[in-house]
Amino acid sequence: MALPIYKTTGQRIWHYTYLTICALVLFFLVAPLIIVIPLSFTSGAFLSFTPEMLALKASAFSTQWYEALVGICGDRVTTVCSDKWVTGFKNSFIIAIFATLLATSLGTLAALGLSRKVTPWRKALMALLISPMIVPLIITAAGLALFSVTIFGVRFDLAASHIGLIFAHTILGLPFVVITVTATLVGFDESLTRASANMGAGPARTFFKVQMPLILPGVISGALFAFITSFDEIVVVIFLGGADQLTLPRQMWAGIRQEISPTILAAATILVIISILLLTTVEMLRRRSERMRGVSPG
């Protein structure tokens, strides 16, 4: 957009300086992703650009590391291509799904309660619910590990099952659901629920027929944030997971320490694509929510 003609020279200089700063910050954030994606298609075994790749020769590019990621080994070394990547992806997906369902259910109920003005200690409860987002993650993980040992006498992995990790990831995802749903409820018209009650509808029917359709974009947005948080989590898995509990981030961490290969970059590229798709969905839901409330999407 061209600047208005009445802008002064100083304002024009500041405008273009501001755009330059924004472009540099954006490049700083996106540059690691730009490097990772093409490197994941290398035909070599090292995490670096080869002269052939810089020359854009077809022989320098390959999908072999994506094939290794899904267990198609071919003639590759067994330590590089194994079923650990598939197992880690499957475990991460299972844990993230159940943690998201729990976090979304509990977070939505908590947001509904906190949105009512008659709720006592609203600010204190809100601070308590979002504390996992504020407290350093390693402290939360260490606290959960000590809690499980103190209460159960064993680690909270519950005999190497996923239940302990699901509960832990639910705690981490809960603040995102509470914040997004609470923000959606700010513009909610409480007269709709009173009208529903006057017409004889019970609390459950009022929630599913009146409240839920209007706050659904916020609920889905919170669920997507909870899913991303669980799927990408590594610190809690290291503290609480059993020795045989592999998740995709944990396998990537083990790969960096033990067997560095471009398979890690292939996994990272898939995570980036998943994150972009989920964040795009969140933005679309945000715009839909604004349109439903009569606000022009910004």
Question: Do residues 187 and 266 share a domain?
Answer: yes
**Residue 97 — pLDDT band, cuts 50, 70, 90?**
very high
**Residue 80 — pLDDT band, cuts 50, 70, 90?**
low
pLDDT (mean) for 221-230 = 89
pLDDT of residue 115: 80
Q: Is residue 131 part of a domain?
A: yes
Q: Report the number of distinct structural domains present in the chain.
A: 2
Whether the CB-CB separation of 114 and 178 falls below 8 Å is answered with yes
Pick the more confident residue, 101 or 268. Answer: 101
Q: In a 10 Å sphere around its CB, with 0-12 CB exposed, 13-18 middle and 19+ buried, how is residue 88 labelled?
A: buried
Question: Do residues 131 and 207 share a domain?
Answer: yes
Which residues on adjacent β-strands are paired with residue 33? none
User: What are the distances in angstroms from CA 14 to CA 5, 26, 110, 248?
Assistant: 15, 18, 45, 45
SS3 144: helix
Question: Do residues 268 and 167 share a domain?
Answer: yes
Counting every residue, how long is the chain? 298
CA dihedral 20, 22, 23, 25 (to 10 degrees): 120
Report the largest interatomic distance among the alpha carbons of the chain, rounded to a whole angstrom. Answer: 74
Q: Is residue 284 part of a domain?
A: yes
Question: Do residues 61 and 150 share a domain?
Answer: no
**Residue 152 — pLDDT band, cuts 50, 70, 90?**
low
pLDDT (mean) for 48-68 = 80
Question: Do residues 157 and 55 share a domain?
Answer: no
- Last residue of one domain, picked from the residues 24, 43, 69: 69
CA quadruple 37, 40, 42, 44: dihedral positive or negative?
A: positive
Q: Which residues are within 8 A (CB) of 237 and not within 5 positions of it... i.e. 6 or more apart?
A: 165, 245, 247, 249, 250
Nearest to 225 by CA among 112, 91, 104, 94: 104
Tens digit of each residue's pLDDT (9 = 90 or more) over 230-241:
988 888 888 877
Nearest to 72 by CA among 81, 84, 85, 62: 81
Q: Is residue 3 part of a domain?
A: no
Q: What is the domain-level CATH number for residue 120?
A: 1.10.3720.10
Question: Do residues 107 and 57 share a domain?
Answer: no
pLDDT (mean) for 174-184 = 89
- Last residue of one domain, picked from the residues 28, 45, 69: 69
Report the distance separating Cα 263 and Cα 70, nearest Å: 10
**Residue 98 — pLDDT band, cuts 50, 70, 90?**
very high
- Phi and psi at residue 188, in whole multiples of 5°? -80, 135
Query: How many helices, marked H, and strands, marked E, lie in the chain?
Result: 14, 0
Q: Is residue 75 part of a domain?
A: no
Give the structural domain span for 102. 84-292
Question: Do residues 274 and 174 share a domain?
Answer: yes
Q: Is residue 76 part of a domain?
A: no
Question: Do residues 93 and 58 share a domain?
Answer: no
- Flag whether pLDDT at 153 surpasses 60: no
Question: Do residues 47 and 141 share a domain?
Answer: no
Tokens in use for 10?
Answer: 């100083």
- Flag whether pLDDT at 83 surpasses 70: yes
pTM score: 0.77
End-to-end CA distance of the chain: 16
Question: Do residues 113 and 229 share a domain?
Answer: yes
Question: Do residues 126 and 33 share a domain?
Answer: no
Question: Do residues 241 and 135 share a domain?
Answer: yes
Report the distance separating Cα 179 and Cα 175, nearest Å: 6
Q: Is residue 225 part of a domain?
A: yes
Pick the more confident residue, 185 or 295. Answer: 185
Q: Is residue 77 part of a domain?
A: no
pLDDT (mean) for 193-198 = 78
Tens digit of each residue's pLDDT (9 = 90 or more) over 103-129:
999 999 888 888 877 778 888 888 888
- Last residue of one domain, picked from the residues 69, 94, 111: 69
Q: Is residue 167 part of a domain?
A: yes
